Every structure is written in structure tokens, then in C-alpha cells.
Amino acid sequence: MTQPTSYWIVYEGDNETLGPATYYVSNTNRWAVSTVGYFTGVANPQWQSTSIVPDQLVGNLDSQIFRTARISASSLRYYGLGLLNGNYTVTLQFFETAIVAPSWRNLGRRVFDVYIQGNRVLENFNIRKEAGGAALQAVQKVYSAQVSENYLEIHLFWAGKGTCCIPRQGAYGPSISAISATADFTLPVPNKPSNGKNRTDLIVGTVVGVGVLSFLSVLVVLYILRKRKQLLTNVDEALRNKCRPFSFSYTELKTATEDFNPAIKLGEGGFGPVYKGTLKDGRVIAVKQLSETSHQGKNQFIAEIATISAVQHRNLVKLYGCCSEGDKRLLVYEFLENGSLDRALFGKRSLNLNWSMRYHICLGIARGLAYLHEESRLRIVHRDVKASNILLDSGLIPKISDFGLAKLYDDKKTHISTRVAGTIGYLAPEYAMRGHLTEKADVFAFGVVGLEIVSGRPNSDPSLEDEKILSP
């Protein structure tokens, strides 16, 4: 622990009145703050704490920043906005303002985690413990952070650890007094305007530059075409490698599906049509055919093979194999007699599902997601949990299918940032608006599916009034 200093650093006061779910952007647009969580058992909860700064800090210029601290019951995020991309030194200043009394009351423990740019830098952080058990002692933490998208995110999160009611109700959750971010690089300075003396040089330089630029443009186009060809070759090679252990011939699948007879077409997926088929050994299968014109579908095709080959569970659809011959690409799954859940609930021939059946369908989906998120060797976010991607076997056991959008994630990070993909009506707000993906995106979608199962209605229906729609 070192004594903090504010020399050469200008702090802006965070005096905004926040609540249990608030997002605030400062008047200068340089920073923003968000809070989530409600202090239980507190009559008039406050999201700011004050303290009496001890004598030894009164003469220090930094004493002012420790007179108040921003607190939260669960999640507290600060954002640095409009930053130049590059490396920054981030300084966090802490000062325990609540657990200070020299009695049994100082046995309280405020414990929380700190993340910078999604990476956990402090786990089970306790301000008093970090200060060596001393009360009213400032703590400073310094970290390096990389800004790549012009913003910095600092997340303080209470994971339910420590005490909650000592010395009083609501004395828990993250707390911080000051944050600063200093660029580790020289900020750009505008160039001086050129004078008339350099005009000739400028003209000559421009003409030569245009010629060079044209030449470089040709090289870039040739490079892009070459990389695109190489990418397609790599995709084809990856498909062959993935399919090699359990491959089917195109002729075999063509025979099994009666030359892809439209009469036995089961539906249309994100890749293309899905057909029912019967192999020579008597196994009934579902064959998913990849559209020949879908380049994005090829990548999702590989993702689905890789993902579902790595996981096996009673509530996940079973992959028998695949086919990759020239431009023919197909996936072969177990056939599930009762089709998709959305057809069972909303189709013309909907199944008569009693409450016990609906309960066990919900439970089965939850078990499948729990396996993907917590129990499998690979941590997987499905990203497209919806009623049409839940299939039912003859015993109405639900099986999660369609892993083309699935993502692997690191459970040591709060989230991963990615392009938004999925189905409107099932997208979690934080994922839809900011691209922050965690397993909670699947949990949100599961909640929507649960509402559909219980109510027997789809989550969106244009014919209904807005207040009668289950989700936005």
C-alpha cells in the first residue's frame, strides 16, 4: 500500500444521485457510471458513503478524494469514454468508510472483485485487509490496461462474499473513492500548417503519391483475392478433417432421404433444409443440408461439428456424422419423433402437454444448458436458445440442437465481446445492445422459452397489443 497522490491529475466529482439500476453519463462525456443492486433491509439506501478523514491525511492534497466513496449493492461499473486507443496506467483508490469502529463492529468484511477490460485483477478484495487491518487507511492499486475500442471499463462486483450486516445493514458491496487513467504514450499534437515554400514539394509529392497508391491498391486487391481463395481452401480442409472420423458419403445420404424428397422435409434451418432419412442399418436420421451459396454457413457448419462432437449429454441432440464432398455438405443427426418444441406448443398439430410434461421439458433444457456452461470440459455458450432449437424425442425428453452459433468462453473473464447473433425476442439486453456475451445470455433466452412453455404462447405476436407480448 502506497500513499496516493493527485499531482498532475484532474479528478471530476461523481456526485450524481444513483439508484438500484442506474446508468449516468457525465456532463463532459468523459466518463459514465452504472449501478445494479438493491441494499436489502435498509430503509433509505444510499449509493454514496461519507467518512471523516483522519488527521494524518488532512494536510495531504488527496484528502478530499477520500471524504466520499461510491458504493453499490451488487455491481458498479465505471467507463472512460472517448479515449485514444493504446496502453494506459489505471490507478484505483480505495478507502473503507463504513467498517471503522474500534470494537466488534470492525469485524465486518467488505469483499468484492475488480475487473478491468473484462479481466479480473482483484479477487475477494478486502480494503481493510489490504491496509493491514488498519482503519481509515487509504489503499492504492495500479494496473496496466489496453484500450482498443476507445473506452475503458472498470467493473467492481460483489459475489455474495464477506459480511452483510456489520456494523449495520447494507455494509457490503463494492466501494471505491477515486479512479484515474493516464496514457502511457505521447498524445498527438496537430501539425503546423505548411507554407508557400513547400507548395512545389507538395504537388510533386502528391503526384508521386497517387502513382504509388494506385500500385499499392492493385497489390492489395490481389492480396485480398489470394487470401479469400486460401480461406475457402482452409474451410474445405477443415470440413474434411472434422468429418473424417464419422463421415457419410453423399450417395448414401441421397439414398437415405429418397433423393431429398420434399415430402419428407422436416423444416428449414439456418443452413438450409432438413430431411428425414433411413440408413441401410435401419437407423432413422435427420439430415441437415448446407446451402451451397452460404459462405458464412460453412463456418457455422464447422462450428457445429466441432462443438457437438466435444460434448455429449442426455439433453443435447446426438450427432451421428457428416458429409463433405465437393460443394455438398450435410450433417447427420438422430431423428427425434416429436419434432421441435415450437411446433409442439404452437403448431397446427400441437401436442397435448400437461403441467407435468411442461415441467420436465423445462427441467431437461436447464440440465442441458448447465452441462454446457459448467460441467463439460469446454465452456460453451449456445447463443441461439429458442423453442425451435429444442427437439423432443418419443418420450418428450428435450434436446438442445443447432450449435452453429455456439461460442467457447473463458470462465475467468466477465464476458467476451462479439458480434451479436441469435433470434430477436430471445436476446439478452446486454448482449443485444453491447455485444457482451456470457452464459447469462443463454439463461435469459431459457427464461423466455420457459414463459412460452408455461403460457402456451410465442414470445412475440404482431396481432397482440404491446403489453401482451412476453418479451420486447
* Average pLDDT along the chain: 76
Q: Which residues of 218-231 are buried (b: 16+ CB within 10 A; e: fewer)?
A: eeeeeeeeeeeeee
| Matching CATH number, 245-335, of 3.90.930.12, 3.30.200.20, 3.30.930.10, 3.40.50.980 | 3.30.200.20
Q: Which residues of 201-217 are buried (b: 16+ CB within 10 A; e: fewer)?
A: eeeeeeeeeeeeeeeee
Residues classed as catalytic: 384
pLDDT at 144: 94
pLDDT at 207: 44
Distance, CA of 243 to CA of 250 (rounded, Å): 12
Domain borders along the chain are 21-183, 245-335, 339-457
Q: Which CATH class is domain 21-183?
A: mainly beta
pLDDT in tens, 114-129: 999 999 999 999 988 8
pLDDT at 397 over 90: yes
Q: Which of 55, 62, 71, 59 is closest to 136 using CA atoms?
A: 55
Higher per-residue confidence, 379 vs 236 = 379
CATH number of 339-457: 1.10.510.10
Higher per-residue confidence, 201 vs 167 = 167
* Secondary structure (DSSP) of 379-410: -EE-S---GGGEEE-TT--EEE---TT-EE--
pLDDT at 202: 42
N- to C-terminal Cα distance for the chain?
48
CB 88 within 8 A of CB 31: no
The SS3 of residue 457 is coil
pLDDT in tens, 151-181: 999 999 988 788 777 777 777 889 998 999 9
Q: How confident is the model at residue 268 (pLDDT cuts 50, 70, 90)?
A: confident
pLDDT at 142 over 90: yes
Higher per-residue confidence, 188 vs 389 = 389
Task: Report yes or no on whether pTM surpasses 0.95.
Answer: no
Of the spans 41-50, 52-61, 344-353, 366-375, which averages the highest pLDDT? Answer: 366-375
Q: Which of 398, 404, 213, 165 is closest to 308 using CA atoms?
A: 404
pLDDT at 472: 46
pLDDT at 348: 76
Q: How confident is the model at residue 315 (pLDDT cuts 50, 70, 90)?
A: very high
Instruction: Answer whether 21-183 and 245-335 agree in fold.
Output: no
pLDDT at 74 over 60: yes
Higher per-residue confidence, 44 vs 396 = 396
Distance, CA of 160 to CA of 164 (rounded, Å): 9
Distance, CA of 151 to CA of 58 (rounded, Å): 34
Q: Which residue has the cell 479469400?
A: 228
* Mean pLDDT of all residues in 232-253: 60
pLDDT at 4 over 70: no
pLDDT at 365 over 90: yes
pLDDT at 407 over 80: no
pLDDT at 200: 46
pLDDT at 213 over 60: no
pLDDT at 108: 78
* Residue 162 φ/ψ region, left for φ over 0, alpha for ψ in the -120 to 50 degree band, beta for the rest: left
